[in-house]
A and B are shown apart, each in its own frame.
Chain A
Amino acid sequence: SQTIHQWPATLVQPVGSPLSLECTVEGTSNPNLYWYRQAAGRGLQLLFYSVGIGQISSEVPQNLSASRPQDRQFILSSKKLLLSDSGFYLCAWSVHRANYGYTFGSGTRLTVV
């Protein structure tokens, strides 16, 4: 069966510090991978998605970047965090074309102070 791992679960970082969130998927190959952010009390905002190694689509111009160095690994990064980067970050995977929906990881709650 497929599983998705996301870490850390919580993170408190000062403004201006770097960020690296990692997500890995097991039990499948060539998944679509996604990074979403959910601000407090708000909906899900798609940040990046990837349909293959090295293929990254950015949905919203911002202070963040994403990379996919391996088939089942997706990394979200920032060089300098802003207060507005606080939120609940969710990684998800799907089969090609997302026809069966996503499976989400457990999420990372990021607080920038």
Chain B
Amino acid sequence: QKEVEQNSGPLSVPEGAIASLNCTYSDRGSQSFFWYRQYSGKSPELIMSIYSNGDKEDGRFTAQLNKASQYVSLLIRDSQPSDSATYLCAVNGAAGNKLTFGGGTRVLVKP
């Protein structure tokens, strides 16, 4: 079983719709959770971090965390073609000091 799992996609959404990305993790002691966006050929960029159960909103992005279910999600509202990228879920385990990344979900926003 992989430590951090994501659906590889591609997730195809029409422009203006909501994109919903999911991530599950295995380390119950994990304390911090992150979403990165990676455009093709570029390095990952941190877009959201979440540390406690519930929702966290930042502009068009909302991260959701449920530690009991070991589940993290990312919602992208009013999706734009510029949101087309691979989104990486990352988890900082109980030991700290390093993040474990999921394989990424590729998102395609169609005009």
Interface residues of A (CB under 8 A from B): 32, 34, 42-44, 46, 49, 51, 90, 96-107, 109
Contacts and interface: CB of A to CB of B under 8 A. Distances in A.
Given A42-B103, A43-B101, A43-B102, A90 B88 contact: no
Interface residues of B, number: 23
A98 B34 CA distance: 11
Contacts of B90: 101-102
Interface of B: 31-32, 34, 36, 41-46, 49, 88, 90, 92, 96-104
Contacts, number: 56
B88 A44 contact: yes
B86 to A, nearest CB: 9
Contacts of A109: 41
A106 B88 CA distance: 16
Nearest to B32: A99
